[in-house]
Amino acid sequence: MMDAFARGDTELIIARTHPSLKQLAGGDEAFARATRDTVKALRKAGVTIISDEAGVPGRTYAAGDEEVCFVPRQSLLRVREAPMRSTSFMVAVRSVGTTQWRYLDGAALPDNPGLLQQLLPDLEPGVVLPESETEAL
């Protein structure tokens, strides 16, 4: 997903985002509009992706008819001229028995842990979020 952001491929970001976030944003069209506007605003603000690496997905958790895992991610960004390192995660979600994953960016979840339960209300209880931090280099 960060690779799609780095390329400016908002359509891929929109297509691969889990429907729960689209619903929270007011529906498919509202989410698509917000995604396009956000990518444009970040580029205009001078945010560029230098590198992005996904780690090994963690264990899978039950979430009703879906399953969820966390994929660690480390990104090097440049905000204007300032380099930054982001250690975060993606939330990968798929219907049980399928191979098509949809994603949620986990960067905001440590500061708002109730959001994960709102987006995935059937997620088994007791799920611990991976660590997340951003640091200037």
Total domains present in the chain? 1
* Residue 24 belongs to domain spanning: 2-136
The arithmetic mean of pLDDT across residues 24-32, rounded, is 97
Residue-wise pLDDT for 84-110, tens only, equals 999 999 999 999 999 999 999 998 899
| E strand map for the chain | 47-54, 61-63, 66-79, 82-95, 102-105, 133-136
Give the per-residue pLDDT at 22: 97
Q: DSSP letters along 110-123, please? A: TT-THHHHHH-TTB
Kindly report the CATH number assigned to the domain that includes residue 128.
3.10.450
Q: Is the pLDDT of residue 81 over 70?
A: yes
Query: Using an 8 Å Cβ cutoff, are 105 and 20 in contact?
Result: no
